[in-house]
Amino acid sequence: MNQGGQLDCVRGGRRGRRANGAVRLGEVAQRVMAEQISPRQSRFGAVAQIWSEVLPGELCRHCEVVDVSGGQLKIRVDSPSYMYELQLCSSELLEEMQRQCPQARLKMIKFLVG
């Protein structure tokens, strides 16, 4: 397909479903948000909120929740020294997270430097 044909394809996609079965990107994005991201974000948001409440302010400024899946809470830490500090108290943090957010079904916390 030439460049002009590609441009026509993009323009045509704005009008909705095309004759060849193509779907508008906005419709696909809305479906993904509704079916996959929103349910996960609602659980993820609660875990992130509780994490910020459980953690002392100094440590909280140096880390962030990056994922919650399969019973694993992944935390990105900005330096190895803070990661070490978090690892020292990880069992207590996990217990507190399990107590305050049982619906997340957390089994472990993984720290990543990044």
| pLDDT on residue 1 | 45
Going by pLDDT thresholds of 50, 70 and 90, the confidence category of residue 87 is: very high
Closest CA to 52 of 100, 19, 10, 87: 100
CATH for 3-113, among 3.40.50.12280, 3.20.20.70, 3.30.2310.20, 3.30.300.20? Answer: 3.30.300.20
Strands 108-113 and 63-69: unpaired
From the CB of residue 73, how many other CB atoms can be counted at a distance below 10 Å? 26
pLDDT digits (tens, 9 = 90+) for 42-83: 657 788 889 989 988 888 899 988 888 899 999 999 999 999
> Considering Cα of 102, then 107, then 51, then 41, what sign does the dihedral take?
negative
User: How big is the chain by its Cα radius of gyration, in Å?
Assistant: 21
pTM: 0.62
